[in-house]
Amino acid sequence: MGSAIDVIIFAPLAPIFGVILFWFIQLLFIESQKYFLSKIRDNHEPLCRFTNFLGILFQTTCHALGYTVTKSGISSFYISVNYGKVAPKKEKKGIFEWMSNTFLFIGPFFIPSSLLLICLPFLMDHGFDIASTTGYTFSENLIAFGTNLYIFSEGFVSFLSSIDLLHPAHLGFFILLIILGLGTRPSSIGEKKRERVDMLYDLKNIRYNILHKPLYIIILFLIAYVFSYASLLLKQNWYVALFSIFGWLSIIAIVSLMVAHAIIILIKATDEIPGFWKFIPYITIPVSYLLMRTLFFFYPFGTSKCISLLVMIISTVLVIFLLLKYQTNKFKTKIDMKSLMKLGEGKKDGSR
């Protein structure tokens, strides 16, 4: 056991800080995704509209869920590609208003990932073990939180690295992961911005809540502290476990955002390839994977799924690189460019 101050005051803050850290990483990934989406917008407007729609769908659903939980009721529910609106039947003030706003504010980050988390126990062999705490100090709680996240990440990554894309459940999960990654938040790219929802908006919202509604923040912290003390008295690690679930959700969201990034980068890279050649990388993805799986079907191997995925990724990257090198001016070395320029100048001189 640590000092009383550590256990009573600082220890409950440890998992909260951990969740906030992961939430910030999530926000950064979202901003980066928006940047990449804006780069491909000219050629892929429908894709941008689709991602925006997904974001609005998640956000509006969370808002509606907030009104339902607080028993405010829903008088109107409107959703389109660039705008979503939910109106309550009864305008409730106080804690209810704050709760429904919390759903709108935090919901899109955690509720879609929770859908994936529900699927994961059926697909993952391990990763849901909760580390036990003995000390209940700040550092002990932080270590337990980190350990929980590590165990989950290890299981999740090992599942993803050996995901069987020929298994309907795995394929369905992977498609959901991509959809979640693309629509974590509305991108509002190329649309008339009615209300800009980005990282700064979130931070402003936090600042507003801290300054203008400190009571609710205090209540939230109070609940957290009470729960922490209850866990401590009962010698259980429920408190850290609860926040670890939020951490898992963040990890799922971050991974899905990374997958979405890879897809957007693939689209961006293929945009630079002219004509029919741009479809070759997209054909390479299933062809290389199916070839490898067929090969391993006849010559079974322990890590065949993982190797098939690796071959698929490497061959796609290689094909893109080669196409960019031989079909475009990308990756042309300076010397080559200089010699080309000289050749051009020589031609000009000759023509004179």
Find the shortest distance in angstroms from Cβ 58 to another protein: 14
Segment contacting another protein by CB under 8 A, of 43-51, 67-75, 106-114, 262-270: 43-51
Find the shortest distance in angstroms from Cβ 46 to another protein: 5
Count the helix, strand and coil residues of the chain and give each as a percent rounded to the nearest 5. 75, 5, 20
- Asked if 85 is part of the footprint of another protein (rule: CB under 8 A), the reply reads no
198 to 237: interface string for another protein, x by CB under 8 A: ----------------------------------------
- Asked if 166 is part of the footprint of another protein (rule: CB under 8 A), the reply reads yes
Among 71, 85, 90, 167, which residue sits at the site for another protein (rule: CB under 8 A)? 167
Rounded CA separation 88/259 (Å)? 36
- Asked if 307 is part of the footprint of another protein (rule: CB under 8 A), the reply reads no
Among 39, 41, 49, 92, which residue sits at the site for another protein (rule: CB under 8 A)? 49
- Asked if 174 is part of the footprint of another protein (rule: CB under 8 A), the reply reads no
- Asked if 80 is part of the footprint of another protein (rule: CB under 8 A), the reply reads yes
198 burial via Cβ count (<10 Å: 0-12, 13-18, 19+): middle
Calculate the CA dihedral of residues 128, 131, 137, 138 and round it to 10 degrees: -40
- Reported for 69-78, long-range contacts at CB under 8 A and 24+ positions apart, including other chains, are 69/99, 69/100, 69/103, 70/96, 70/97, 70/99, 70/100, 71/96, 72/96, 72/100
- Asked if 50 is part of the footprint of another protein (rule: CB under 8 A), the reply reads yes
Rounded to 5 degrees, what angle do the CA atoms 112, 115, 121 make? 145
- Asked if 170 is part of the footprint of another protein (rule: CB under 8 A), the reply reads no
Place of tokens 């094909």: 319
Q: Which residues bind another protein (CB under 8 A)?
A: 45-46, 49-50, 53, 80-81, 166-168
